A and B are shown apart, each in its own frame.
Chain A
Amino acid sequence: MMSAVRRRTGDAIATRAVQAGFVIALVTLWHLATTQWGVSHFLLPQPAAVLRELADVLRSGEFVQDLKITLHEVVVAFAAAALSGTVLGYLISRSAYLVRVFEPLFSGIYAIPAILFFPVYVLIFGLGPASKIAIGTTISFFPVVLSTIAGFAHVDRILVVAARSMGSSGYQMFRYVLLPAAFPVILTGLRMGFILALLSILGSETIASLEGLGHRIVSLAELMKTERMFAYIVFAVAIAALLNVAVSALEALGRRR
């Protein structure tokens, strides 16, 4: 018994060691490649230089404007997709017939890479935030609507019949039977929708934009300011990771209630 516990903690330490070793090896290789093996700093800047630039970006507050734009686009796009997706999904889920009509349709469209339509959105909505919001909404709508349909349409029949035979009103049915059963599934869809909105907005800012984090990275790349570009990449990845963690935590919180 004791030895099993010790082995498990020993194993856990070894796992962490491998993970830490991986990161250390990567950074060491990166450092050696740039300082010893003569890789051009236009292609790969030195880690120390990137760190310096990152500190400068954070200290100067230069990132605030771009971050604001990107977050604003993400929030608006996600809000629009969450609202339309849950409402439409609920309405569709009320009829088994509509579910059979729309569920395959939506999942079919969902499989098409919607970023393809971005050039059309730019043509219609311009280079500003509107086209990013539109593409973000389009892309994050599908996981939300699909999970809402799945959540509401597949509530256990027994629960519904039991509630009805006990004389529940329409509102009671929704509030105490359908919603609690569907909620966890919808939450997953909302989380995926948020992540997709963030990714598609960063991506569309990369393709054609005047401002925002994605655009900043691209314009630094075009100016061959690789060090600062790396700093912004690190910054953007960190923001994305933070949002990811925050959304997952919210999902876990919502699930527990």
Chain B
Amino acid sequence: MARMPAALRHPAGARALVILALFGIWEVAARWFVDPSFMSPPSRVVAFMDELFATPGVPQALFTTFLELAAAFALSVAVGLAVGLLVGLHDFSRRSLLPIVLLLYATPQVTILPLFILYFGIGPASKIAFGMSHGMFPIIVTVAAGVQNIKPILLLSARSMGASPRQVLRWVIFPHMIPSFFTGMRLAMTAALLGVLLAELYVSSTGVGYFTHLFADSFEPAKLFGLITVLALMAIVLNETVRRAEVRFGHWQST
């Protein structure tokens, strides 16, 4: 291979250049080749950020979405952990109930999105519930699997040393479940993001969905792109937080 410039020799540097190049293409395409009422170059999107946040209701809508995400994720973790333990702790319940969970997990929940709106209204409740309906299944499945993969010898030795069922749960099963639990949390975050954002975009009379429709209908792509960029950044930060937590706490066994 020919000698490369210093910036390119490191993959991370090259990756940054690829991202910059993509933004460059977007800038050039939007500036000179595409109708400005449909697309905005990144420079204009950034320039319009102030105006976006000055639009009455936008900061609140974004903040509400963030709270919905947090609530949906927290509920997914709590319910997923409880159900996952219930399903996974006993051999019989796992074999009888896990297929039901997997079946529900595999059904396309978008088809019942209108039902969530019908039952929970157009406010945050429906979005939290829909996000939770996406987020809890990965946790249930990974927790049930994590409980299952415990070496029988560990359970046996704990029991033969006189550990009570509660002690077994606390000192053997729980620590063993941690890595798969964190994997489940990462998957749950991705899923909860999808659920909440789908519901937000679907409801067009309030929240983020209202503004995406407003900006699209009034041909203000700079604001539309800005709004989406802020939400994408929110998703990236949340995903990254959970992924870091997984890397940090998920692999205690290997040390």
**Residues in B neighbouring A217, C-beta threshold 8 A:** 111, 114
- Within the complex, the shortest CB–CB distance from B72 to chain A, in Å, comes to 13
**Residues in A neighbouring B239, C-beta threshold 8 A:** 111-112
- Within the complex, the shortest CB–CB distance from A49 to chain B, in Å, comes to 16
Chain B facing A: main interface SS: helix
Binary CB contact string for chain B from 187 to 226 against chain A (1 if under 8 A, 0 otherwise): 0001001100110011000000000110110000100110
A116 touches B111 (CB 8 A): no
The reply to whether the CB of A43 lies closer than 8 angstroms to some CB of chain B is: yes
Question: Please, how many angstroms separate the alpha-carbon atoms of A222 and B118 in the complex?
Answer: 9
- Within the complex, the shortest CB–CB distance from B65 to chain A, in Å, comes to 11
The reply to whether the CB of B113 lies closer than 8 angstroms to some CB of chain A is: yes
Residue of A nearest to B197 (CB): A113
**Residues in B neighbouring A100, C-beta threshold 8 A:** 11
A123 touches B114 (CB 8 A): no
**Residues in A neighbouring B108, C-beta threshold 8 A:** 198-199, 202, 236-237, 240
Which among B1, B111, B202, B235 has the highest number of chain A CB atoms within 10 Å? B111
A116 touches B11 (CB 8 A): no
Question: Please, how many angstroms separate the alpha-carbon atoms of A207 and B212 in the complex?
Answer: 11
**Residues in B neighbouring A199, C-beta threshold 8 A:** 108, 110
Question: Please, how many angstroms separate the alpha-carbon atoms of A184 and B215 in the complex?
Answer: 44
- Within the complex, the shortest CB–CB distance from A251 to chain B, in Å, comes to 14
B38 touches A123 (CB 8 A): yes
A43 touches B92 (CB 8 A): no
Query: Among the listed B99, B119, B190, which residue makes an inter-chain contact with A113, where contact means beta carbons less than 8 Å apart?
Result: B190
Chain A facing B: main interface SS: helix
Question: Please, how many angstroms separate the alpha-carbon atoms of A14 and B97 in the complex?
Answer: 11
Binary CB contact string for chain B from 24 to 53 against chain A (1 if under 8 A, 0 otherwise): 000000000000001100000000000000
Question: Please, how many angstroms separate the alpha-carbon atoms of A117 and B186 in the complex?
Answer: 22
Query: Among the listed A11, A19, A101, A123, which residue makes an inter-chain contact with B224, where contact means beta carbons less than 8 Å apart?
Result: A123
**Residues in B neighbouring A105, C-beta threshold 8 A:** 15, 18-19
Tell me the count of chain B residues lying within 8 A, CB to CB, of chain A: 47
Binary CB contact string for chain B from 112 to 123 against chain A (1 if under 8 A, 0 otherwise): 111101110000
B15 touches A214 (CB 8 A): no
Query: Among the listed A19, A22, A206, which residue makes an inter-chain contact with B110, where contact means beta carbons less than 8 Å apart?
Result: A206
CB within 8 Å of B: which of A71-124?
A: 97, 100-102, 104-105, 108, 111-113, 115-120, 122-124
A116 touches B18 (CB 8 A): no
Query: Among the listed B96, B106, B197, which residue makes an inter-chain contact with A115, where contact means beta carbons less than 8 Å apart?
Result: B197
B235 touches A101 (CB 8 A): no
CB within 8 Å of B: which of A191-207?
A: 198-199, 202-203, 206-207
Query: Among the listed A15, A207, A213, which residue makes an inter-chain contact with B95, where contact means beta carbons less than 8 Å apart?
Result: A15
B38 touches A124 (CB 8 A): yes
- Within the complex, the shortest CB–CB distance from A143 to chain B, in Å, comes to 12
**Residues in B neighbouring A237, C-beta threshold 8 A:** 107-108, 111
A43 touches B118 (CB 8 A): yes
The reply to whether the CB of A249 lies closer than 8 angstroms to some CB of chain B is: no
A119 touches B15 (CB 8 A): no
The reply to whether the CB of B154 lies closer than 8 angstroms to some CB of chain A is: no
B110 touches A221 (CB 8 A): no
Question: Please, how many angstroms separate the alpha-carbon atoms of A120 and B216 in the complex?
Answer: 8
**Residues in A neighbouring B15, C-beta threshold 8 A:** 101-102, 104-105
The reply to whether the CB of A18 lies closer than 8 angstroms to some CB of chain B is: yes
B228 touches A119 (CB 8 A): yes
Question: Please, how many angstroms separate the alpha-carbon atoms of A244 and B236 in the complex?
Answer: 29
- Within the complex, the shortest CB–CB distance from A202 to chain B, in Å, comes to 5
The reply to whether the CB of A159 lies closer than 8 angstroms to some CB of chain B is: no
A203 touches B198 (CB 8 A): yes
- Within the complex, the shortest CB–CB distance from B29 to chain A, in Å, comes to 11
**Residues in B neighbouring A117, C-beta threshold 8 A:** 228
Q: Do A112 and B236 form a contact, CB below 8 Å, given A123-B216, A123-B221, A207-B201?
A: yes
- Sorted nearest first, the 5 A-B pairs with minimum C-beta distance are A221-B114, A18-B96, A100-B11, A119-B212, A203-B110
23 contacts between A and B (CB under 8 A): A14-B92, A19-B100, A43-B118, A97-B1, A97-B14, A105-B18, A111-B190, A111-B236, A111-B239, A112-B236, A113-B190, A116-B197, A119-B212, A119-B215, A124-B38, A198-B108, A202-B111, A207-B202, A221-B115, A221-B117, A222-B114, A233-B111, A233-B112
